[in-house]
Structure 1
Amino acid sequence: MKGALLVAGTTSDAGKSVVTAGICRWLARQGVRVAPFKAQNMSLNSFVTADGAEIGRAQATQAAACGIEPTADMNPVLLKPGSDRRSQVVVLGRAIADVDAMEYGAFKARLRAVAVESLERLRAEYDVVICEGAGSPAEINLRAGDIANMGLAQAARLPVIVVGDIDRGGVFASLYGTVALLDAADQALIAGFLINKFRGAPELLAPGLDMLHGLTGRETYGVLPWLDGLWLDVEDSLALDNRPAQPYRPHSLRVAVVRLPRISNFTDIDALASEPGIVVRFVRSAAELEDADLVIIPGSRATVSDLGWVRETGIAQAVQERAAAGRPVLGICGGYQMLARTIHDDIESRKGHIDGLGLLPATVRFTAEKTLARPVGTAYGHRVAAYEIHHGVVTVDTATPSRPFLDGCRSGSVWGTTWHGALENDAFRQAFLADVAATAGRPFTPAPGISFAEFRAARLDALGDLIEQHVDTGAILDLIENGPPRDLPLIHPGGAR
């Protein structure tokens, strides 16, 4: 078979990424050569491909669902917000500019061509390409410059299914309204709907689904039930707000992750979920650190700005007091930079010289050239494969006593590294956690035989199962091969057809 499909959504975090991954996984299990694609992604969770290109983490996970290596063509345009108004623009894996929303408009024509060319290359190499939209196609204020939703669908003549999150409420209104706000040419490509995150008996939805069909002339191809644990490798920090807080248990190893305003690559923490006896919380206050055995300061797209927030909230003082008391702290990438003595930044924040938290004997200098790499090293006697994405270059002061830790260092109970993904290495992760537990004085022993790769594969299989069991897969195959049904009715705002 040959073809493509665009999975759009009524909102951000409606489930586009997981539905796309699920369709990819299901097709791959049928022996189809399939690849994922997202023309434009806005995310602070990114990944480095084997040839050193930076793409959205969600597309790397979708590639894993397909059983293939990720490439820059799978996410040709990546926007990484550094503030509420400015984002770094990454094109085919390389940062080219830092712009505000108005300045970005000047790039749109060029980027649309880049996106279409990337999709064409993928379609030439693979039998099927499952595309993921961005935000909502009904963001009509942005339609003229759209390259990720209906702009892409028009350029590549893609059939579109729209995913609605029923857990948010108002799913029928949002599905209907998404179609009704589009012009006739765009509506002609909207083939139908999927409802996501349903809790209860699907029969209860039948009257609404019938009315939606009557109003739009479009089918609902499936109702996906709520399934816990599908937050793996999400692309949007909004998903953290929907992740339930786990209660600390008496014999668990308790991990508190600082929820920075511009938190990036928080997927580094996902591997901890594969370990029985580990409880992870994302926290925003100093008080929430008190009963944690390990505090992690994760990556940040705005290191200096987020360091200011860490100080304002009192978290900085709490972390310094923990370190003085010999209680474990881990900094990853931006978090590592915050733990250094000094930061010199004329690139990201342009604030010049800034004092760090002073917990590691290191200095940081930001450079214009971004480091993108897939390093391999050894720690605790085990091989560690990871990836790097950073402008800040950390130099460890060798005159001050410290111990090596991956590419960074350890001083007392404080560890720091720029390497993302290190915790996904099972033997290293368990040795590190055992050291943390011993340092914290906790009676915790990692369970043997845990494989994060198998944990992730099981999650991807669960997504494939969702599609296979709850979606009209025959109709999806027909859309992929033949495009949207002909003569779909035009919906006018107000309900007239």
Structure 2
Amino acid sequence: MSGALLVAGTTSDAGKSMMVAGLCRLLARKGIRVAPFKAQNMSNNSAVTMEGGEIGRAQAMQARAAGLEPSVRFNPVLLKPGSDRTSQLVVMGQVSGTVAAGDYFHHRAWLADVINAELDSLRSEFDAVICEGAGSPAEINLRATDLANMGLARAAELPVIVVGDIDRGGLLAHLFGTVAVLEPDDQRLISGFVVNKFRGDPALLAPGLDQLERLTGRPTYGVVPFDDGLWLDAEDSLSVQAHRMVGIPGPARGVDSLRVAAVRLPRISNSTDIEALACEPGVLVRWVSDAADVADADVVVLPGSKATVSDLAWLRERGLADAVIAHAASGRTVLGICGGFQMLCRTIDDSVESGQRRVEGLGLLDADIVFEPAKTLRRWNGPLRGYEIHHGQIARASEDSWLDVGIRRGAVYGTHWHGLLDNDDVRRRWLTDAAMTGGRKGFVVAADVEVTTRRDAQLDTMADLLASHLDVGAVMDLLDRGVPSRPVITSTICGP
């Protein structure tokens, strides 16, 4: 076997990341050397690679599924939105500048060269490369600058599988329409479909899939059921919804539960840090965006942000800044991670992201932050594991050290480390202290929860779902033989 395919989606959050991860794990189990690839990602959830570069968090997770260390090769272009119109451009793991949406066309040619060269290199080294698209290939207004969907598929002659989330409704129309709006040379590459998150009796769906095949000439390779025990590193921070529970915690081991309010910042980054808390039995984690939702929490977490100063202003506008300060004044626990940590300090001097220079922080930690042009990208693989991605640096601090990974004042903690709470001993001690501080003396921390093991179990669950509900033989055939012959749809529905 020596092939590649592209998993595209009808929408963002349709299941592309899950399917790529599941296929990587499934193929790796068969002894096939497989690698993930996402040509261009737009996400503020990122991870640090073995080369000291930066890639999308989902691609790091997919690399783990394939039994590989994360590498910049798996996500050569990363866009990190700092506003609605501009993004930081990261190429082969390193910051290459800031681009506006309207100017991106001018970067396409040289970025395409980087992407195509890297994909060619991976294909020469691995038996299979499973590529992930971005958003939807039906966004034909963006086709001229597309590097991750049909632009990549056309350049590399990749068969394309389109996956859709049926839980949202209207999926058959989405699948048909995704093919129908494409130009003939793009349509030719669409090989088939996968239905994701199906609930109920598949026999009821079968007539619709049969008709879809008659209309499009393309089969459905599988109907993957909804699994409420499946959680996944979020690719897109927009999928993190305020007031939504994070994960499905098990029953409390003691008589008390611990309530955690994680603030859903507008430019949140690395929201996956919160998942480690949601793994714990009896820890109830909610994303919140209103001051009232902080009042009954035992712990408040301010996660990372790609726009620290802007998101700090948002905290103040929403009344959340005062709510967090009052929470800390009552003696209850506050944790700030990366950008959230910087917000807890006395001052932030930012001439890099916002250009606003010195602004007042929340003042819960006696420290000052200065943004530097060079971004810190660092992985820690010692007794404690984690990674850092930040422009802001501690210029002064008079607070106590916290495990050599940050600083603390009483029950207020701050760290630049992402993934710190994945360290089981650190998380257990911190939760125990937070429960005591919050008066939850009946809360008992589980001694048998291992987050890394839970994450690996999720990858196995994804692979198991695909093994049971996907025509794996047909997918392997795409990898072996490439693009199959498929008809072009000519539909009056889409106009002339």
Q: Shared fold by TM > 0.5?
A: yes
Counterparts of 1:208 and 1:369, CA distance in 2: 54
Secondary structure of 1:117's aligned partner: helix
Choose which of 431, 434, 443 in structure 2 pairs with 1:433: 431
- State the partner residue of 2:448: 449
Q: Distance in 2 between matches of 1:213 and 1:404?
A: 59
Distance 2:14 2:229 in 1: 15
Structure 2 spans left out of the alignment, 5+ residues: none
User: Is the contact made by 2:36 and 2:74 (CA closer than 8 Å) also made in structure 1?
Assistant: yes
Distance in 2 (CA, whole Å) between partners of 1:484 and 1:206 is 25
For residue 39 of structure 1, report the CA deviation from its aligned partner.
Answer: 0.1
Does structure 1 retain, via aligned residues, the 8 Å contact 2:350–2:370? yes
In the other structure, the counterpart of 2:185 is 185
Matched, 1:253 2:258: yes
Deviations 1:288-335 (A, max 9, x none): 011111100000000000000101111111111111121100000000
How many angstroms apart in 2 are the aligned matches of 1:371 and 1:492? 51
Code of the aligned partner of 1:112:
A
SS at match of 2:214: helix
State the secondary structure of the residue aligned to 1:105.
helix
The alignment partner of 1:255 has SS state of: strand
Deviation at 1:101, TM superposition (A): 0.6
Distance 2:343 2:431 in 1: 22
For 1:413, the equivalent position in structure 2 comes to 411
Structure 1 residues 121 and 242, CA gap change in structure 2 (3 angstroms): farther
Kindly report which structure 2 residues correspond to 1:154-303, keeping only aligned pairs within 5 A, or say none.
154-241=154-241, 244-245=244-245, 251-303=256-308
Residues 304-343 of structure 1 mapped to structure 2, 5 A cutoff: 304-343=309-348
Q: Answer whether contact 1:231 1:239 (CA < 8 A) is retained.
A: no
The corresponding residue for 2:400 is: 402
Output the amino acid matched with 2:277: L
SS at structure 1 position matched to 2:384: strand
Counterpart amino acid of 2:216?
T
1:436 positional shift: 1.3
Structure 1 position 450, deviation (Å) = 1.6
RMSD: 1.7
Residue 396 of structure 1: how far off its partner (Å): 3.7
Q: Separation in 1 of the partners of 2:256 and 2:27?
A: 42
Shift of 1:106: 1.1
SS at match of 2:65: helix
CA contact (8 A) 1:365 1:393 kept: yes
What secondary structure is seen at the aligned counterpart in 2 of 1:241? coil
- Asked if the contact 2:25–2:463 (Cα under 8 Å) also holds between the matched residues in 1, the reply is yes
TM-score between both structures, scaled by the size of structure 1? 0.95
Q: Distance in 2 between matches of 1:255 and 1:200?
A: 33
Tell me the equivalent position of 1:494: 492
SS across alignment from 1:361:
strand
Residues 396 and 408 in structure 1, CA contact (< 8 A), matched pair in contact too: no
Q: CA deviation at 1:405?
A: 4.2
CA distance in 1, matches of 2:180, 2:199: 27
Shift of 1:232: 2.0
Deviation of the 1:414 alpha carbon? 0.2
Letter of the 1:372 partner, please give it.
Answer: L
Read off the aligned partner of 1:260 and give its amino acid letter: L
Cα deviation for residue 169 of structure 1 reads 1.0
Give SS of 1:167's match. helix
In the TM superposition, residue 276 of structure 1 has moved relative to its aligned partner by 1.2
Question: Structure 2 matches for 1:98-109, cutoff 5 A?
Answer: 98-109=98-109
Give secondary structure in 1 for the equivalent of 2:455: helix
1-structure distance, mates of 2:434, 2:381: 22
Q: Which letter does structure 1 place at the counterpart of 2:424? A: D
1:243 CA displacement: 8.5
Aligned partner of 2:469 in structure 1 is 470
TM-aligned CA distance change 1:242 to 1:23, over 3 Å: farther
Task: Please list the CA deviations of residues 229-274 of structure 1 after superposition, one character each: whole Å capped at 9, or x if unmatched.
Answer: 4332111123222994379987211111000000100101111122
Alignment of 1:77-156 (within 5 A): 77-156=77-156
Task: Classify 1:126/1:243 alpha carbon distance in 2 versus 1 (closer, same or farther; 3 Å).
Answer: farther
Structure 1 position 445, deviation (Å): 2.1
Cα distance in structure 1, aligned partners of 2:327 and 2:151: 51
3-state DSSP of counterpart to 1:354: strand
Deviation at 1:449, TM superposition (A): 2.2
Q: Which amino acid aligns with 2:127?
A: D
Q: From the superposition, tell whether residues 478 and 495 of structure 1 become closer, same or farther in structure 2 (CA, over 3 Å).
A: farther
TM-score using structure 2 length: 0.96
1:53–1:2 CA distance, 2 compared to 1 (3 A): same
The one-letter code sitting in structure 1 at the alignment partner of 2:337 is I
Aligned pair in 2 of structure 1 residues 352, 242: CA closer, same or farther (>3 Å)?
A: closer
Post-superposition shift, 1:366?
Answer: 0.7
Counterpart code for 1:213: E
Cα distance in structure 1, aligned partners of 2:479 and 2:242: 32
Amino acid at match of 2:316: R
Shift of 1:124: 1.6
2:465 maps to 1:460:
no
Question: Distance between the aligned counterparts of 1:479 and 1:422, measured in 2?
Answer: 40
* Letter matched to residue 145 of structure 2: G
Q: How does 1:52-63 map to 2 (within 5 A)?
A: 52-63=52-63
In structure 1, distance between residues paired with 2:275 and 2:290: 21
Q: How far apart, CA to CA, are the structure 1 residues paired with 2:348 and 2:149?
A: 40
Paired residue for 1:26? 26
Query: Which residue of structure 1 aligns with residue 44 of structure 2?
Result: 44
Give the aligned partner of residue 353 of structure 1: 358
8 Å Cα contact 2:231/2:458 also seen in 1: no
Distance 1:447 1:397 in 2: 34
Match of 2:70 in 1: 70
Conserved? CA contact 1:258–1:284, under 8 Å: yes
**AA of the residue aligned to 1:331:** G
Gapped regions of structure 1 (runs ≥ 5): 378-382
Q: Which residue of 2 aligns with 1:380?
A: none
Q: Deviations over 1:340-360 (max 9, x none)?
A: 000011110001110000000
Q: CA deviation at 1:463?
A: 0.3
Measured in 2, the distance between the counterparts of 1:88 and 1:75 equals 15
Kept in 1: contact 2:243–2:287 (CA 8 A): no
